[in-house]
Amino acid sequence: MRRSICIAEPHVARAGVTSTWRFHYSTNTPLPKGAKLKFDIQSCGRDIDWDVPTSHLEEGADVIYATLEDGTLLEAEEVEVPESYIPQYEFTLPSPLKIGGKVTIVMGAPPKAKDLERLGNRCQLTIQRRRPFLLYIDSKGKGNYEEPETFGIDIKGGNLYAIRILTPSFVAKNKRFDITVRFEDEYGNLTNSAPEDTLIELTYEHLRENLNWKLFVPETGFVILPNLYFNETGVYRIQLKNLKTGANYFSSPIKCFSENDRNLFWGLFHGESERVDSTENIENCLRHFRDDRHLNFYTSSCFDSTEETSNDIWKLISQNIADFNEEDRFITFLGFQYQGEDKTEGIRLIVYIKDNRPLLRQKETKSSSLGKIYKTHTPKDFISIPSFTMGKGTVFDFKNFNSEYERVVEIYNAWGCSLKTAKEGNPRPITSLGRGGVEEDDAGSVEKALKAGHRFGFIAGGLDDRGIYSDFYDSEQVQYTPGFTGVISPKHNRESIMDALFKRNCYATTGAKIIVGFYIAGHPMGGELSTAKKPGLSVNRHISGYVAGEDTIRSIEIIRNGEVIHTLYPQVSYCDYTYDDMEPLDQFTLKREKGLSPFVYYYLQVTQEDGHLAWTSPIWIDCLASAETT
């Protein structure tokens, strides 16, 4: 039996190019007059997706129509698709089509146009093998469409635009490590599209001559360089120079210690990708964060509602999270977002410590409140991370704060910072430029919660357009850069990362890999000290640490009880710092509930010249007399 033929022309494209695309269909059965063909470009309408053409030919550019072999032109009728902003395009045959007859669907420049590129249709911005376009056939013209025919176009990376260098953040002196070099187009895709004589030179500070390497752009678009090491302590940045263009590219900072029993891991507990759906397409999402974004850990964060996450989708997510978890490479956690009552519960991310755990839905009786969930579990089962606590309508006021489960709080994501209000100096407040968005509510202020005596570490989330965030794109809600969480952990596995989170040995950034060390009397961020064990703290709190940025460091602010007590202006990309807070401790301690000692807390805020920020988890000091140590 003769088969239908589907040919896309061109069949290979570079991401982001504008062209006129033709889809040739030869039928294997005769189609009568009045038969209908419906074309689906499979786009979601995002900026990174394939451009959506118009059926109105008078527009003069980026149109869609069809032609028959005799030159007859068929105009398309846009057909609305339920739950989609993107239409499908329907054509009606004006005459019969014999077996082997051809219909060509044209997407790009209008008929008779000469400039097929400038007036054409833009390809998607992401690479994809066999990117599908669907054609449905209704041979009787009554709306009964058969299984679709499929056209495919291979999308490859565009011209070389940037070089990204992926390195560890912490290394030890004379200990070897590997780096990955990614050759990318302007959209972040891997590419090998560069002039043949392109040569890349590798170097870094304190270079030994025998490590002055020259690299070619490989066919794969990336290369792994093994066995690098530093023989002096300090902060380094790997540099690559395109000898053809003169452009320089730098890695994120690398801190080299004389001895190192810890690592700085970067990842997301809450967030998804603009490129890849994180529910139905969870496998590609995990590959994206592992291979393209080079994260060290990632957590699924779908919402608990059945509309957002069906039982089948939850099973799919659970299976992929278990499959992708790989010690010393990429750690995955199974998690979901739980939306509870405004003020008392708010939005939070439940992160399981083990695989194959149930999705606890708020609408089900056994999990209708956080109180019920906490009573039927133990802190060894999961952690509960309050997020977007200052978003009006989804506030968590911390009055029911549970220190056993809620060890860290998400103080920042792409929709704003919940640390404090804009009037109090929040650099990235939750706000909207119009009436339809969400504004801040200081009842969920993280700073207020800290002053009330609640203790938790800081993490940052990424971008999210699901659940409560789904309407933000249709409003004038202010959007910021997706954040990162840095976790300082001795090992790269689930248990070690979760233990570091429990100890609050973590910090938040707005998306830059800023290395931050913060210590009081030698104790790291997240720690709790007391004057009973260290009486000298009543006289002097010796604060020390280091900051290494991806850009010049504009300021380092030491914050005590929510107020800046000292600011440094390094104007370099790396510095060590020290400060002695010698004000009498009893003059500014904060009171806690009856029976608990007064206290003071400190944390660090770092700001780069490019506007990126980092916030360390706090360190607390309890004011106890020596007799109270019990």
Rounded distance between C-alpha atoms, residue 517 and residue 262, angstroms = 12
Look at residue 583 in the predicted model and tell me its pLDDT: 93
- What percent of the chain clears pLDDT 70, i.e. is strictly above it? 97
pLDDT confidence tier of residue 613, bands split at 50, 70 and 90:
very high
Residues 212 and 218: their CA atoms lie apart, in Å, by 18
Q: Cα torsion for 350, 353, 359, 360, to the nearest 10°?
A: -50
pLDDT of the residue at 220: 92
Q: Return the pLDDT at 629.
A: 41
pLDDT digits (tens, 9 = 90+) for 286-303: 999 999 999 999 999 999
Tokens 């390094």 correspond to 570
- Find tokens 């320089």 and name the residue: 248
The confidence score (pLDDT) of residue 593 equals 77
Residues ≥6 apart with Cβ < 8 Å to 425: none
DSSP 586: G
Q: What is the pLDDT of residue 457?
A: 98
pLDDT for 196-212, tens place per residue? 889 998 877 655 545 56
Half-sphere exposure (Cβ direction) of 370: Cα atoms closer than 13 Å: 27
pLDDT score of 208: 54
Instruction: Assign 448 to helix, strand or coil.
Output: helix
Report angle CA 110, 116, 120 to the nearest 5 degrees.
Answer: 65
Stretch 391-409: mean pLDDT, rounded?
96
Q: How confident is the model at residue 59 (pLDDT cuts 50, 70, 90)?
A: confident
Mean pLDDT calculated for residue range 169-196: 94
Instruction: Indicate the average pLDDT of the chain.
Output: 92
Per-residue pLDDT, averaged over 20-46, amounts to: 92
Per-residue pLDDT, averaged over 497-525, amounts to: 97
d(CA 167, CA 506): 19
pLDDT (0 to 100) of residue 337? 97
Task: Point out the least confidently predicted range of 28-42, 383-397, 448-462, 613-627.
Answer: 613-627
Phi/psi at 50 (5° precision) = -60, 135
pTM here is 0.90
Q: Tell me if 443 sits within 8 A of 397, measured CB to CB.
A: yes
On the question of pLDDT at 627 being above 70, the answer is no
Stretch 134-155: mean pLDDT, rounded?
Answer: 91
Cβ contacts of 71-74, under 8 Å, gap ≥ 24: 73/111, 74/103
Domains detected in the chain: 5-156 (2.60.40.1510), 162-261 (2.60.40.1930), 283-293+304-479+496-509 (no CATH), 512-630 (2.60.40.10)
pLDDT given at position 45: 83
- Spatial distance between the Cα atoms of 393 and 441, rounded to a whole number of angstroms: 8
Q: What pLDDT was estimated at residue 2? A: 56
Which residue has better confidence, 627 or 297?
A: 297
Please say whether the beta carbons of 409 and 386 come within 8 A: yes
Instruction: Read off the DSSP letter of residue 291.
Output: I
The residue that leads in pLDDT, 8 or 143, is 8
Beta strand pairing call for 457-460 and 408-413: parallel
Q: Give me the pLDDT at residue 212, please.
A: 65
Residue pLDDT, tens place only, 403-446: 999 999 999 999 999 999 999 999 999 999 987 789 999 999 99
Model pLDDT, residue 356: 94
pLDDT band (50, 70, 90) for residue 279: confident
In this predicted structure, what is the pLDDT of residue 473? 76
Rounded to whole angstroms, how far apart are CA atoms 237 and 250? 6
Element spanning 508, H or E: strand 506-509
The DSSP output letter for 427 is S
Asked whether 394 and 341 are in contact (CB, 8 A), the reply is no
67 vs 47, residue with greater confidence: 67
